[in-house]
Amino acid sequence: MKVRALTLAVLASMSASAIAADTIDPLKKAFIDDAEIKLQFRLRYEQADVENVDDQHQTTLRTRLNYKTGDIYNFFALTEVDDVRSTDNEPLIADYEYTQINQAFIGYKAPANTLLKYGRQRILLDNQRFVGGVGFRQNEQTYDAFSVKNTAIDNLTAYYAYVNNVNRIFPEGSGKEEHKNETSLLNVNYKGLGFIKLSGYAYLIDNLSVAKFSTDTYGIRAAGDIKLDSIKVNYEAEFAQQSEGGNNPTTYTANYYKLGAGIGYEGFGAKLGYEVLGSDDGKAGFITPLATLHAFNGWTDKFLFGGAGNWENGIVDTHFILTAKVAGLKLLAKYHKFDSDYGDVDMGKEWDIAATYPFAKHYDVGVKYASFSGADAGYSFSNDTNKLWLTLQAKY
């Protein structure tokens, strides 16, 4: 009886240990063994020289820590914390001191190649012309949202997000750092044709904080490239129509057009583009309040218009781009000519140039310069402006 009792006790202990091991091992695997930790430093010097305004200089350092768990029963989690330190707080330079959670979400890998995310997350759709993260700035724009991404059909990606808050690039206490939303974002793209990638989208923005940012936008985009021996021809074409949404007090309809064509040969490229953010006869313009605005219409950011990305008269941007890659050095030059879509306003011109160089696997250094020349006086964007950025980045 003693031997039997001892045997039963040992078996019970082993069973308990096995149950505990079954519980602990998946957690250890997800949170330690399969977890990913990323660390990034981005040091930047920025100078802004605006006509009739004192020069402004600022140096900032952003530290970003990213932790992603492994999968546990198809669930995973990601947390990303940003900290920015600054030598100053210049009103013309949109980088600010802060420490905050940039991303924090729970993900679930559902059947039929479906990925669900709930929480604060990065949302970058197509070329970020309508929905993006403003990744150039030290404080990135992220979204508190529930999102679904499905890739069950070959070459087809369907994406939907319901956004209840937009975490903008501005600092806490500014009154501009968050916009409450009841927004739906739908984007479907197909790339199975090889030479063309097609996207269709519906962005139904209901901004509860700023009613004039509420819009309903429907559009289609086509982009791709064709290889002809050692020459590559690339192109893009896009059309969208926008009207008021949510509680927007203005009733309007405005269109967006973009056409571009380019050619590349052995590391060198050239592209001609034409973009119109239209106007409804000067009553209201086609706006893009969730866009990565810095990437479009010139790096001096003369046409942010409070985050709307357009004014009531609209913008016509005719631009030419040159690129080159030589011994790892990436070079880029842009020229923009800006006019209004309504009212025949000469809005100025801008030159943008940049050079970036990656080295020693984890590092890259970059320089950017932008020079805007105003034209018709009397407008908020008419002052000549020059900006310079020097950036050193390390990723581990």
Amino acid residing at 114 = T
Fold of 34-395: Porin (2.40.160)
Instruction: Average the pLDDT over 166-184 and give the result.
Output: 94
**pLDDT band at 260, cuts 50/70/90?**
very high
Q: Which residue has the higher pLDDT, 208 or 375?
A: 208
**pLDDT band at 24, cuts 50/70/90?**
low
pLDDT of res. 377: 86
**pLDDT band at 251, cuts 50/70/90?**
very high
pLDDT of res. 375: 87
Instruction: Average the pLDDT over 210-230 and give the result.
Output: 96
- Please check whether residue 238 is in contact with residue 260, taking contact to mean a CB–CB distance below 8 angstroms: no
pTM given for the model: 0.92
Q: Average model confidence (pLDDT) for the chain?
A: 94
Which tens digits make up the pLDDT trace of 116-155?
Answer: 999 999 999 999 999 999 999 999 999 999 999 999 999 9
Rounded to whole angstroms, the Cα distance separating 373 from 384 reads: 5
When mean pLDDT is compared across 3-17, 84-98, 288-302, the lowest value belongs to 3-17
pLDDT surpassing 60 at residue 102: yes
Structure tokens at 222: 């086509």
Give, in degrees to the nearest 5, the angle at Cα 113 between 166 and 159. Answer: 30
**pLDDT band at 171, cuts 50/70/90?**
confident
Rounded to whole angstroms, the Cα distance separating 126 from 189 reads: 9
Backbone dihedral angles phi then psi of residue 321, each to the nearest 5 degrees: -125, 135
pLDDT of res. 22: 52
pLDDT of res. 23: 55
